[in-house]
């Protein structure tokens, strides 16, 4: 990582230990600019969730209005997941080559246009083909967005920020449930209007492409140092640091570390910081706040994280890659097996289409407190324990849902499943990008997501088989086992709380 440019007055000794641009980002507080980036990424995330959620309502509606079989419904769902598997892998590779922002915008454009075109489908075959194209964009968008946000979030709250990002998934699903309940169930053509809403991401792609910054780490990897410096300074200015104050702060922090190493009190560094900007100036006060937090905020990079050769299956990374892949596979199998089929399975239990969609909407609302709890715990218990606990809770809730036999127990168990499962998703997206160095971060997160999509392709076909063999009880017990296996795999992952992202 290239060090930040030093001020003209810095000594050669200071030049060697000046904070890198990544460290300058890590030490900042959460600013308005971080909030704008989170909001922009989150809207894309919510639109993705809305599309994934809407297809479950579309399948339920088509089973009533077109009389499609469970096999046709499975093909429609699995076609999208097949596209997501390819999209996640290719998207991650492209993000490491052409940039996170560009791939993010491209994915929104692809799946937005394809979803809108799906509204015009005249048969199951056309809908299946278009869902595959939709999946290409959906699969690439999620790991790329989480990688981009991870590379900007301050180190001390990175996990919490990524759970906040993942919480936008709940907003998208709630929006899908509302649209599904009041539009998809409105009549024979309601599902077409539902899919027409999917054009929104295509328009939003322009906002992403021209309104979001590119990853500083990516820019430096490509030798675009002037652009990287410009982005970092814009975030420092948002924190109340002008260019001069930021540079002085960097020098002051270096001098302070040197003084402590020599056994000094550090007052000389403090004095130089005051001299640089004036003790009462807002920029100087901001610089002092940031400087004081810097040592703990920047954190340390574990030796395994500094690997630069061998890719995600190198000796240093293979164990975490295997563990991450296992979690992704099991959580996808259980999550999509359950939530894609819940509206249809409720109809099979004798509930009307409107009742089914209403129950699903209520269950979906429980995602919000799940994300909120995960966002708090992830910086208290850490990533590994938070992910493990929420996956274990998902296993218990899935078993309870399979055994539920009344409206009250169905809704209660469904809400518990929604709470724990989506909290687990938040923790998973937080830990993934932290496991890899910059050169393979997009590849690592994308490859794990792609492997998980194999399970999401299998899940829609697995559910009808399990229901025929042993009813809904067997199906949800199988999901509980998958969640339990994911919890075991999650516990093997290294704890990354408070650690700097590897370069």
Long-range contacts of 125-132 (CB under 8 A, 24+ apart): 127/76, 128/75, 128/76, 128/79, 129/79, 131/55, 131/76, 131/77, 131/79, 131/80, 131/83, 132/79, 132/80, 132/82, 132/83
Burial environment of residue 427 by CB neighbours within 10 A (0 to 12, 13 to 18, 19 or more) = buried
Those residues whose C-beta lies under 8 Å from the C-beta of residue 211, and which sit 6 or more positions away, are 40
State residue 269's pLDDT score. 38
Percent of the chain with pLDDT over 90: 23
State residue 6's pLDDT score. 44
436-470 tens-digit pLDDT: 887 888 788 888 988 998 898 888 788 889 988 98
Q: Which two tokens stand for residue 378?
A: 């992830």
372-427 tens-digit pLDDT: 999 899 989 998 999 999 999 999 999 999 999 888 999 999 999 999 998 999 89
Average pLDDT of the residues in 231-244: 82
Q: How confident is the model at residue 262 (pLDDT cuts 50, 70, 90)?
A: very low
Q: How confident is the model at residue 308 (pLDDT cuts 50, 70, 90)?
A: low
Whole-number Å distance between alpha carbons of 233 and 24: 9
State residue 144's pLDDT score. 81
DSSP code per residue over 319-372 = HHHHHHHHHHHHHHHHHHHHHTTHHHHHHHTT--HHHHHHHHHHHHHTHHHHHH
Percent of the chain with pLDDT over 70: 82
415-437 tens-digit pLDDT: 999 999 989 998 998 888 888 88
190-220 tens-digit pLDDT: 888 988 887 887 778 777 767 788 889 889 8
Whole-number Å distance between alpha carbons of 382 and 427: 9
Say which residue, 38 or 88, is predicted with more confidence. Answer: 38
H-type helices in 99-123, by residue range? 100-118
Q: How confident is the model at residue 309 (pLDDT cuts 50, 70, 90)?
A: low
Whole-number Å distance between alpha carbons of 366 and 375: 15
Average pLDDT of the residues in 107-128: 88
* Minimum mean pLDDT range among 1-15, 227-241, 321-335, 462-476: 1-15
**In the chain, what is the greatest distance between 2 CA atoms, to the nearest angstrom?**
79
- Is the full-model pTM beyond 0.85? no
What does each C-alpha distance from 469 to 342, 463, 478 come to in angstroms? Answer: 18, 10, 12
User: At residue 288, does pLDDT exceed 50?
Assistant: no
What angle (nearest 5°) sits at the alpha carbon of residue 121, between those of residues 115 and 127?
Answer: 65
- The mean of the pLDDT values for the chain is 80
State residue 280's pLDDT score. 44
């Amino acid at each position: 990582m290239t060090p930040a440019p030093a001020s003209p007055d810095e000594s050669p000794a200071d030049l060697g230990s000046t904070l890198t641009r990544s460290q300058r980002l890590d030490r900042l507080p959460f600013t308005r600019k971080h909030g704008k980036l989170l909001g922009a990424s989150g809207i894309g995330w919510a639109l993705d969730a809305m599309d994934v959620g809407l297809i479950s309502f579309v399948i339920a509606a088509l089973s009533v209005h077109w009389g499609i079989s469970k096999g046709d419904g499975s093909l429609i769902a699995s076609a999208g997941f097949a596209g997501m598997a390819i999209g996640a892998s290719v998207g991650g590779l492209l993000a490491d080559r052409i940039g996170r922002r560009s791939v993010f915008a491209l994915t929104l454009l692809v799946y937005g246009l394809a979803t809108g075109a799906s509204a015009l489908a005249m048969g199951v075959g056309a809908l299946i083909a278009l869902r595959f194209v939709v999946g290409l964009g959906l699969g690439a968008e999620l790991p790329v967005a989480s990688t981009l946000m991870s590379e900007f979030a301050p180190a001390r709250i990175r996990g919490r920020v990524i759970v906040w990002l993942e919480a936008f998934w709940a907003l998208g699903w709630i929006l899908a449930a509302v649209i599904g309940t009041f539009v998809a169930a409105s009549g024979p053509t309601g599902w077409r209007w539902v899919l027409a809403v999917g054009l929104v991401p295509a328009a939003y792609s322009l906002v992403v492409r021209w309104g979001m910054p590119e990853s500083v780490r990516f820019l430096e990897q490509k030798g675009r140092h002037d652009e990287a410096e410009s982005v970092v300074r814009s975030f420092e200015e948002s924190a109340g640091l002008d260019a001069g104050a930021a540079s002085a702060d960097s020098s002051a922090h270096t001098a302070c570390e040197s003084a402590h190493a020599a056994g000094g009190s550090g007052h000389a560094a403090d004095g130089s910081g005051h001299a640089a900007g004036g003790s009462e100036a807002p920029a100087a006060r901001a610089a002092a706040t940031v400087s004081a937090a810097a040592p703990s905020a920047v954190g340390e990079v574990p030796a395994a994280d500094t690997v630069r050769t061998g890719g995600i299956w190198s000796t240093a990374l293979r164990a975490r890659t295997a563990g991450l892949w296992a979690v992704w596979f099991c959580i996808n199998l259980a999550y999509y097996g359950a939530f894609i089929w819940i509206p249809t399975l409720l109809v099979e239990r004798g509930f009307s289409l409107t009742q089914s969609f209403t129950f699903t909407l209520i269950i979906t609302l429980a995602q919000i407190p799940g994300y909120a709890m995960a966002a708090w715990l992830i910086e208290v218990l850490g990533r590994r324990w938070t992910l493990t606990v929420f996956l274990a809770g998902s296993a218990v809730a899935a078993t309870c849902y399979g055994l539920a036999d009344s409206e009250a127990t169905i809704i209660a168990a469904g809400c518990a499943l929604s709470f724990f499962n989506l909290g687990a998703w938040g923790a998973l997206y937080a830990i993934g990008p932290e496991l890899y160095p910059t050169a393979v971060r997009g590849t690592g997160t994308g490859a794990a997501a792609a492997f998980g999509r194999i399970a999401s392709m299998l899940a829609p076909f697995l559910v009808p088989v399990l229901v025929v063999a042993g009813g809904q009880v067997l199906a949800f017990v199988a999901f509980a086992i998958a969640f339990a296996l994911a919890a075991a795999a999650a516990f093997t992952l290294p704890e990354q709380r408070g650690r700097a992202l590897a370069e």
